[in-house]
Chain A
Amino acid sequence: QSVLTQPPSASGTPGQRVTISCSGSSSNIGSNTVKWYQQLPGTAPKLLIYSNNQRPSGVPDRFSGSKSGTSASLAISGLQSEDEADYYCAAWDDSLNGSFVFGTGTKVTVL
């Protein structure tokens, strides 16, 4: 099972701001950078945020990431209908010789 914990669901109306939390530990988020992925139904995950708060080219600035201690957050401002998707945090974990771990995932619904 995942070592990064996310709320199973989040929702908002168009234009609202939605925040998703990701809770980890000292061996993962506490000592490594965080990535965030968006997965639309039936498609491969898409990188939204890397290095805690950096956006790859082409990702709208409505998406922002932050990290504090052993937790991280993804914020979606100005929520749009096309943002309805599953979102996953991820980080390298230094325990057990090193591995990459994904969060449990959060389903965002646009009401």
Chain B
Amino acid sequence: QLQLQESGSGLVKPSQTLSLTCAVSGVSISSGGYSWGWVRQPPGMGLEWIGCIYCSGSTYYNPSLKSRVTLSVDRSKNQFSLKLSSVTAADTAVYYCAGTEDGGSRDYWGQGTLVTVSS
């Protein structure tokens, strides 16, 4: 059973870089067959897609965040990461990591982690 767990700083100062990691268990990222991504949800608001890696062999970003976002994979630790630079209060949200089976028939989500941007 594939499981995902987010970790990282829950409090980030404005203008700094938000960094989150998603640990994957139950499957090897290196084995393929999945795309890996991030979704966020500001308090009381809807879902916003951030980006995905290994999506049909490529990396894609939300155009509105593209200049500030970097996704990466660490195969040795079986985890993938999100970095969002120059954060503001508008980046305060619950951040979810997710894995999707090729073909889209199944999603796996982490429990989500709240990141607050505040001085």
Contacts and interface: CB of A to CB of B under 8 A. Distances in A.
Contacts, number: 56
Nearest to B100: A47
Interface in B8-67: 37, 39, 46-49, 51-52, 60-63
A70 interface: no
Nearest to A47: B107
A100 B60 contact: yes
Interface in A41-83: 43-47, 50-51, 54, 56
Contacts of B39: 45, 102
Interface in B45-92: 46-49, 51-52, 60-63
Interface centre among B51, B107, B111 (most CB of A within 10 A): B107
User: Mostly helix, strand, loop or mixed at chain A's interface?
Assistant: strand
Contacts of B110: 44
Query: Of B47, B51, B52, B96, which is in contact with the most chain A CB atoms at under 10 Å from its CB?
Result: B47
A99 B60 contact: yes
B46 A2 contact: yes
A39 B106 CA distance: 15
A51 B106 CA distance: 11
Nearest to B112: A44
A19 interface: no
A97 B49 contact: no
Nearest to B60: A98
Interface of A: 2, 33, 35, 37, 39, 43-47, 50-51, 54, 56, 86, 88, 90, 96-105
23 contacts: A35-B104, A39-B47, A43-B111, A44-B109, A45-B107, A45-B109, A46-B107, A46-B109, A47-B106, A51-B104, A54-B105, A56-B106, A90-B47, A96-B63, A99-B49, A99-B61, A99-B62, A99-B63, A100-B37, A101-B49, A102-B39, A103-B46, A104-B46
